[in-house]
């Protein structure tokens, strides 16, 4: 029974892997867009002279934070499902502490 659950969890992890990469890309793009429009140091390096729009910066910041949250959720789901699946699939050792003491 645990083998079936393990394989299901590994399949879920394999599905979550490209999803995690996509959400990472979306988060990265939203962070770059926020820096280009709202970060003073980045704007100085780009030699942008137009004024900073506070409403746009607020929207970009909330979008960046939302994309980060989605990325962290998918990354956590990927890590938990892959580790739990591998733990259920791989054989466990019947070696306990009493056996270890007898070997010494």
Predicted confidence (pLDDT) per residue in 36-83, tens digit: 998 888 888 888 888 888 899 999 999 999 999 999 999 999 999 999
User: pLDDT tier at 98 (50, 70, 90 boundaries)?
Assistant: low
First to last CA, the chain: 35
Q: What is the pTM of this model?
A: 0.79
């Amino acid at each position: 029974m645990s083998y079936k659950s393990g394989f299901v969890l590994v399949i879920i992890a394999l599905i979550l892997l490209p999803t995690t990469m996509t959400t990472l890309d979306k988060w990265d793009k939203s962070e770059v867009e926020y820096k280009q429009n709202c970060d003073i140091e980045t704007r100085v390096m780009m030699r942008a002279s137009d004024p900073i729009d506070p409403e746009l910066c607020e929207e970009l910041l909330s979008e960046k934070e939302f994309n980060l949250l989605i990325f962290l959720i998918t990354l956590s789901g990927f890590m938990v499902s892959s580790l739990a699946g591998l733990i259920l699939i791989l054989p466990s050792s019947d070696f306990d502490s009493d056996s270890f003491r007898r070997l010494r």
